[in-house]
């Protein structure tokens, strides 16, 4: 349990990739603060399972990732009740699929706020605490769409490209502080975020569900397989190790070869 005594804060972690991050970190001994929406009973059970795995506390904070003041309060609560945060994973994200001429402005604003701006607010609040401790790991879930574009995803592609730029900048600012700052850029991971965009893509492109899965989603990944949440979480766990201390400012692809060409 190499993270015993450390605290991790994971945004967007009540399901999908975020929940896998939380499980992996708890399994390595970290106290964990999860964040996100969901049924109260399910969240309570998730926290109990994390605490049992780590032998350390696990808490949930319901901060809305569009509200800077709630994000700052969440980081402060994590520091006050659990310590740290020593590890931050920016994972909160939403998606909307539509041609740019029809893209709703409220959807654009929400995507930028949750996928990009929330990471800025988490980093802004966490970096001074990590500097004071002399150690920290900041990991953001980017995407293959941080490197390449797809039609009808202007908001998501813009946010993920911006997240990489933010990561590189903060990595340079913290390079001598014992802090590393990186992105993991998965290809398509089978989560509710991917599943929920299928109907919009069907409508936008005039395709069937199977055609979207096989001819749009998996067509980009030479392996023809979805990345799994546990694979992404294992990668993040490695970045928390001392052996990864020289990896910073990196955008690390995990996309089945999608962005190789």
Across the chain, the runs of DSSP E, i.e. the strands, are 7-10, 31-35, 58-61, 87-90, 136-141, 179-186, 251-254
**Active-site annotation holder among 6, 65, 129, 156:** 156
φ, ψ dihedrals at 88, nearest 5°: -125, 130
**188 in catalytic set:** no
Task: Give the C-alpha distances (Å, rounded to integers) separating 64 from 5, 34, 73, 93, 137.
Answer: 27, 12, 11, 12, 23
- Can you tell me the distance from the alpha carbon of 170 to that of 167, in angstroms, rounded to the nearest whole number? 5
d(CA 202, CA 233): 30
Contact 192, 208 (CB under 8 A): no
Task: State whether residue 237 is helix, strand or coil.
Answer: helix
Q: Which residues belong to the active site?
A: 156
């Amino acid at each position: 349990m190499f993270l015993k005594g450390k605290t991790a804060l994971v945004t967007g972690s009540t399901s999908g990739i975020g929940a896998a991050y939380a499980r992996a970190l708890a399994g390595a001994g970290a106290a964990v603060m999860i964040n996100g929406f969901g049924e109260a009973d399910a969240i309570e059970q998730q926290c109990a399972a994390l605490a049992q795995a780590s032998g350390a506390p696990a808490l949930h904070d319901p901060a809305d990732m569009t509200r800077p003041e709630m994000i700052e309060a969440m980081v402060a609560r994590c520091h006050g009740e659990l310590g740290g945060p020593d590890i931050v994973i920016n994972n909160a994200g939403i998606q909307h699929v539509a041609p740019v001429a029809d893209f709703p402005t409220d959807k654009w604003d929400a995507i930028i706020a949750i996928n990009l701006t929330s990471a800025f607010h988490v980093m802004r609040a966490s970096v001074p605490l990590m500097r004071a401790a002399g150690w920290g790991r900041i990991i953001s879930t980017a995407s293959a769409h941080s490197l390449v574009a797809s039609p009808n995803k202007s908001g998501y592609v813009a946010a993920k490209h911006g997240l990489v730029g933010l990561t590189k900048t903060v990595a340079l600012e913290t390079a001598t502080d014992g802090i590393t700052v990186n992105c993991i850029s998965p290809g398509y991971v089978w989560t509710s975020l991917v599943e929920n965009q299928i109907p919009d893509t069907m409508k936008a492109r005039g395709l069937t569900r199977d055609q979207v899965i096989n001819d749009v989603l998996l067509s980009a990944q030479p392996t023809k397989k979805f990345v799994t949440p546990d694979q992404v979480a294992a990668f993040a766990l490695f970045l928390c190790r001392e052996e990864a201390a020289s990896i910073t400012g990196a955008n690390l692809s995990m996309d089945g070869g999608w962005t190789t060409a």
